[in-house]
Amino acid sequence: MEEEIALILASHGDFAKEALNSLEMIVGRQANVSTLSLYPGEDLPDFTKRMDDAYHKLNHEKGTIILCDIYGGTPSNAAMAMLIKYKEEKIAAYSGLNLPVLLELSASRNKKYIEIKKVMEETAKLSWMELKNNKNNKVMEGGL
């Protein structure tokens, strides 16, 4: 099996870890993934070091995608530090970590780095949808 792109999920609290658990419940075990949880009292330099350590533990030969929960928060600031430090590497970072994005990414992790970046950009446009109550909407029975 071809190696999948490295994936780092970073969030305030256990959101990243639980997002991965939810993804794996739907699509199965994911390889070459690390989750980072920021807890009260941890500062940006400490979190950035943990992100850097996670990066080096993953196989990032094919590239790395970092998904963070909130733009401008400590996890995304650490990701920005990684982009600066590894500017010559295939590494991209996005904020707005959510399950639809993870699902799309999980189906694309064997693609080339540049193709995955295109998938991420397209997915970002589609990851928010307003649910509206009107007579044409049908409630779906069952689910995953």
Give this prediction's pTM: 0.84
**Torsion angle (degrees, nearest 10) of CA 122, 126, 11, 3:** -40
Tokens of 42: 């941890």
Tokens of 72: 């401008």
Question: Any alpha helices (H) in the chain, and if so which ranges?
Answer: 15-27, 44-57, 74-85, 99-106, 113-126
Average pLDDT of every residue of the chain: 88
Fold of 6-126: Rossmann fold (3.40.50)
Cα–Cα distance, 16 to 96 (Å, whole number): 11
3-state secondary structure of 40: coil
* Average pLDDT estimate for 30-37: 97
9-20 per-position pLDDT tens digit: 999 999 999 999
Q: What are phi and psi of 95, to 5 degrees?
A: -105, 165
* Average pLDDT estimate for 72-95: 94
- The CB density around residue 53, as the number of other CB atoms within 10 Å, is 11
Q: Which of 20, 10, 143, 27 is nearest to 73 (CA)?
A: 10
102-117 per-position pLDDT tens digit: 998 888 888 888 888 8
Instruction: Please check the confidence at residue 21 and state whether its pLDDT lies above 80.
Output: yes
- pLDDT-based confidence at residue 1 (cuts at 50, 70, 90): very low
- pLDDT-based confidence at residue 22 (cuts at 50, 70, 90): very high
